[in-house]
Chains A and B, each alone.
Chain A
Amino acid sequence: MVVCDNIFYHMTIDLKTVKHISKLARISLDEKKAEKLATDMNSIFEFIEKLNELNTDNVEPLTSIAETTLRFRDDKITSENIREKILKNSPEKNDDFFVVPKVVE
């Protein structure tokens, strides 16, 4: 992928890129799945390339479809004693805590 003057030229997404992205996305992939994904992603990006036809230099990006400013709420506690509810669906918990694999040696 080369980006220049706001125009991008699609280059093939190779296996190395797919593996890098899967690291970023925290999804482990075996070799076969990675290859299949590379093929799929390439056909999808080929389809996305169509946007290059448009000059969008002076267009404001649309960040929110609802033309309202986000509301503030009062800085007040609205739900109390929900610890049990929050922990209820945890795959592993210990009293009042989530349990995760050891992080610090």
Chain B
Amino acid sequence: MSEITSLTLYELIKNIKEKKISSNEAAKSFVDRAEKSKKINVYVTENFENCLKLSKEFDDKPNFDLKLPGIPIAVKDLFCTNEVRTTAGSNILNNFVPTYESTVTQNIWNEGGILLGKLNCDEFAMGSSNETSFFGNVQNPIAEDLVPGGSSGGSSAALAANLTPVTIGTDTGGSIRQPASFTGTVGLKPTYGSCSRYGIVAFASSLDQAGPMSKDVKDSSILLEVISSFDKKDSTSIDFKRNNYSSELTRNIKGLKIGIPKEYRVDEMPDEIEKLWKKGIEYAKDCGAEIIDISLPHTSYALPTYYIVAPAEASSNLARYDGIKYGLRSSGKNLIDMYEKTRSEGFGEEVKRRVMIGTYVLSSGYYDAYYLKAQKVRQLIKQDFDQAYNKVDAILTPSTPSSAFKIGEKSNDPVSMYLNDIFTVPVNLAGLPGISIPAGVDKNNYPLGLQIIGKPFDEQTVLNIAYSMEEKINYKNNITDWWMK
């Protein structure tokens, strides 16, 4: 049998149910490997001792009816975990220990999952490279000094380095799908309203969604089934009938119509991305899907719209960090001075930049010109998808316009960093489900992903297409454990 840490979630569950591996053995394997993998810097907070203890308790009284029986799982440090420090990658929350649990993580523990630790991410999920984290860069397990993507960069790196069997991230503009694409892993952003936002450190509330990240498509379907739930504690949670995503997973996608949006053929797109996309189209045809050319005419307006909507919502959400109720407090000569110093010392550069942009676009006299305008364009972007879905069942695009870049390469140019999310942002603006699956490599052997976008609440079709294409693509990550040498 291959090593425990390299098993997929499905295989690990099977082995635990068949009593070939105990929960404690699994926990030990992941902890041991993490101890040898400090160099890639995925953990902000380790929960190793507790995980070992809880896994032993599971083995003493196992319940194999659970969906994640005794499975150790590390999660992005944006999910509040009761009595376990939650930082959102920020200095301002460096000492924050929640007294409550996010719904999504609670769903995981209810099904037998055990917390391994909290994973590094861009500060308040604002970034595409994990370089904005207060807790330092994360190394991409694919190659040294390569970013793992972001904002769920600790999650994607932990997964690719076999430090957790599956994980969860959050995706506001691509923060699950882009890091998945950069690390040769699978990442799914569900429909807005599928997974509760309760207990997730808020960034842009109308865009934020939690979702599974995994080594293959089947694992994402298992985890989605666990985390997707209607929750009264989230006012935008939607009460719809959720599928049994893993048992309904099928490779029969014959006759499904898949749209290819011509506007995603952007000018600066490298040849290898274009080639990958063409290859993806051939794979989809091989799976029995019908390919249809479609148009999403407002695609090029999505990023400018996002960079009004997301900072505006962020500036409102981050107003709560005032140095009084929780988090960092700096001393000041009066109340206002204390606020200003606390926020100046507590927030990093990218967060300040976005709070400033958000404050500006919402400030007196500019609201109509920026925020209202952006909401109108957001409507047009959503209508593009509505119209496309009269003709097709799903849409196939590249996940990112490039493969992973070097640490430091883009950190001085915010706009060039933002362009990374060009294919993922429209999906958040329209609230749709989207998955990134590994589909090939570039000239440096760095992974490249394809994105499948679905109709609202149709995660099943998205997963089914991904599952079928995954078999044809047959992608294998070639990770050498270089950081252990």
Chain A interface residues toward B at CB < 8 A: 1, 3, 6, 8, 13, 17-18, 21-22, 24-29, 37, 40-41, 43-44, 47-51, 53-54, 56, 59-66, 68, 70-71, 73, 82, 85-86, 88-92, 98, 100-103
The 5 closest A-B pairs by CB, nearest first: A89-B326, A65-B431, A61-B375, A91-B329, A28-B340
Q: Which residues of A contact B329 (CB under 8 A)?
A: 91-92
From A13, A62, A66, A88, B376 is in contact (CB under 8 Å) with A62
CB-based contact B335/A54 at 8 Å: no
> What residues on A are CB-neighbors of B206 within 8 Å?
64-65
- Map CB proximity to A onto B296-332 as digits: 1 under 8 Å, 0 otherwise: 0010110111011000000100000011111111001
Instruction: Contact check, A3 vs B325: say whether CB atoms are below 8 A apart.
Output: no
Q: Is the CB of B335 within 8 A of A24?
A: no
The CA of A47 and the CA of B303, in the complex, are separated in Å by 9
Which of B238, B301, B315, B366 contacts A1, CB < 8 Å? B366
Contacts of A65 in B (CB 8 A): 192-193, 206, 382, 429-431
14 CB < 8 A contacts A-B: A8-B369, A37-B353, A44-B307, A51-B301, A51-B305, A54-B301, A56-B376, A56-B377, A62-B375, A65-B193, A73-B232, A85-B99, A91-B324, A91-B326
Closest residue of chain B to A3, judged by CB?
B369
Q: When A48-B308, A90-B324 are in contact, do A41 and B232 touch as well, CB less than 8 Å?
A: no
Contact of A48 with B375 in the complex, beta carbons under 8 Å? no
State which of A28, A51, A73 has its C-beta within 8 Å of the C-beta of B374. A51
From A21, A40, A62, B414 is in contact (CB under 8 Å) with A40
Chain A positions within 8 Å of B473 at CB level: none
Complex contact A47–B99 (CB within 8 A) = no
Residues of B with C-beta under 8 A to A24: 359, 363
Contacts of B326 in A (CB 8 A): 89-91
Comparing B261-269, B341-349, B462-470, the segment that makes contact with chain A is B341-349
Q: Is the CB–CB distance between B235 and A71 below 8 Å?
A: yes
Does the CB pair A41–B343 fall under 8 Å? no
A89 touches B325 (CB 8 A): yes
Q: Which residue of A lies closest to B343 (CB)?
A: A27
